[in-house]
Structure 1
Amino acid sequence: MSAAPSDAGEGMTRAAGSDARKASAEPVPTPEAVVPEPTPVPTWNVANILTLSRLVLVPLFVVALFIGDGADTTWRAIATGLFVVASATDHVDGWVARKYGLITDFGKIADPIADKALIGAALVGLSVLGELPWWVTIVIAVREIGVTLLRFWVIRHGVIPASRGGKAKTMTQILAIVVYLLPLPAGADPVRWALMGLAVLLTVVTGVDYLVRAVRLRAAGRRATGA
């Protein structure tokens, strides 16, 4: 008769052990992982400072270009050097921004504006000196101003990044302007005309492409907001 309480105790012990094992087998709820918010990129970073330095070099380039009415070879070489240095910052600031994650909306807007200011100053200067037909300057200027206005037109819907065609256009414009700036002999004129002709062609084609992309972006933004 005394075995019954013992059996009952052992049964209770086994039941308790079984419950403990079940409890230990059940997964322990853990708090949800907290995803840290990305660190905001400061507007005043190295890439954007390089972009602004390009704007600072523009008036210095213009002054050097017009000293001696553009005929002084020393100052012409200095003007060419300033233009090349300013143009090089366009590639450096882009590389820095991509490599170190310093891409900002300010940079996306300021970078093309700085490019247009530099190239526009060079084209107008060459036309004023009578070395480049005004129609070339006007065609390029209308395209660049139009694209800038389009950027502001669609900015509330997004920023359109530069395309490969746009980059090729900028490189061709820079190369053509450098050849025009250098005090080369008259035998280099065919090279000047060919490069500038290609620059004008790419300017027009990429301008039309940008217009199409801007219209599509605005339409998509209006659909998304139900406007």
Structure 2
Amino acid sequence: MTSWLVARRHADGTASAWNVANALTVLRVLLVPLMGALLLVEGGQDAGWRLAAFAAFAVAIATDKVDGDLARRHDLVTDFGKLVDPIADKALIGTALVLLSALGELPWWITVVVLGRELGVTLLRLVVIRRGVIPASRGGKAKTVLQSLAIGVYLLPTVDAVAAWKPGLGLGLVLVATLVTVVTGLDYLASAVRGRRLGPRTLPPTS
């Protein structure tokens, strides 16, 4: 089944949207509400449901890595994937941040800063799209990794095994992730301005 999805192509040789990479992206989208529902069971206080929410988040993050690798390795990059993949990522991170803040576990200002940055970058992408798409940079990838690690720590149930190190590690990671989020957002803005000065399709990489 997987080999059929990978091999399927249009008559002109371009990859069909019906491929395993896009299937993993759709799975990530479906895991977003599942993760949210599991996190909210009993107000986020039940260790079992909390661990299930962590597992759903971890699987979703793993699909983000796998679908990208498959798309590049097997030439499965499609317009559908380009559109839905970043939406799935932002939905996953955004949902987790909002729910953790709603549960009183994560300061709202962090959620507002991160989501504000993502909204701003999305709007900038729409503004500069005629001059080219700005690819993700190492800073942007580091931002995603740090955000994922921080959220993963926060999602873990506070049981004896993690109670000693979870608060400090979680707060440290989320503060570093927020700083990197802001810095890469400013870098994106600078890149967009440079691209406007240099002309079409000369935008340097960022995130």
Same fold, TM-score > 0.5, yes or no: yes
Q: Distance in 1 between the 2:114 and 2:195 partners?
A: 24
Shift of 1:109: 3.2
Report the 3-state secondary structure (helix = DSSP H, G, I; strand = E; otherwise coil) of the residue aligned with 1:43: coil
- Tell me if the contact between 1:113 and 1:148 (Cα under 8 Å) persists in the aligned partners: no
Map Cα deviations across residues 111-142 of structure 1 (whole Å, 9 max, x no partner).
22211100000000000000000000000000
Aligned to 2:24: 50
Match of 2:150 among 176, 181, 192: 176
Aligned counterparts of 1:174 and 1:45: Cα–Cα separation in 2: 26
Matches within 5 A, 1:204-223: 204-219=182-197, 220-221=199-200
TM-score by length of 2: 0.84
After TM superposition, the structure 1 stretch with the greater mean CA deviation from structure 2, 203-212 or 164-173, is 203-212
1:120-159 to structure 2, matched below 5 A, reads 120-159=94-133
Deviation >4 Å, runs of 4+? none
Summarize deviations over 1:137-158 as a string: whole Å, max 9, x none: 0000001111122222222332
Matched, 1:70 2:70: no
Tell me the amino acid that sits aligned with residue 189 of structure 1: P
**Residues 117 and 182 in structure 2, CA contact (< 8 A), matched pair in contact too:** yes
Post-superposition offset of 1:189: 1.2
Matches within 5 A, 1:80-159: 80-159=54-133
> Aligned with 2:200: secondary structure?
helix
| Aligned residue in 1 for 2:178 | 200
What root-mean-square deviation, in Å, do the aligned CA atoms of Structure 1 and Structure 2 show?
2.0
> Based on CA coordinates, which of the two structures has the bigger radius of gyration?
1
- Hey, what's the Cα distance between the residues in 2 that align with 1:106 and 1:157? 21
Whole-Å separation in 2 of the counterparts to 1:107 and 1:147? 19
Give 1:218 shift.
4.3
Tell me the amino acid that sits aligned with residue 131 of structure 1.
Answer: E
Identify unmatched segments of 5+ residues in structure 1: 1-36
Report how far residue 222 of structure 1 moved: 8.8
Partner amino acid, structure 2, of 1:40 = T
Q: In the superposition, relative to structure 1, how do residues 106 and 158 fare at CA in structure 2: closer, same or farther (>3 Å)?
A: farther
Q: Which residue matches 2:8?
A: none
Post-superposition shift, 1:187? 4.3
Q: TM-score, normalising length from structure 1?
A: 0.77
Report the Cα offset of residue 107 of structure 1. Answer: 2.3
* Mapping 1:33-48, distance limit 5 Å: 39-48=13-22
- 8 Å contact kept, 1:105–1:159: no
Query: Which has the larger displacement, 67-76 or 186-195?
Result: 186-195
Instruction: State, as a whole percentage, how many aligned pairs show the same letter.
Output: 58
- Residue 156 of structure 1 aligns to a residue whose secondary structure is helix
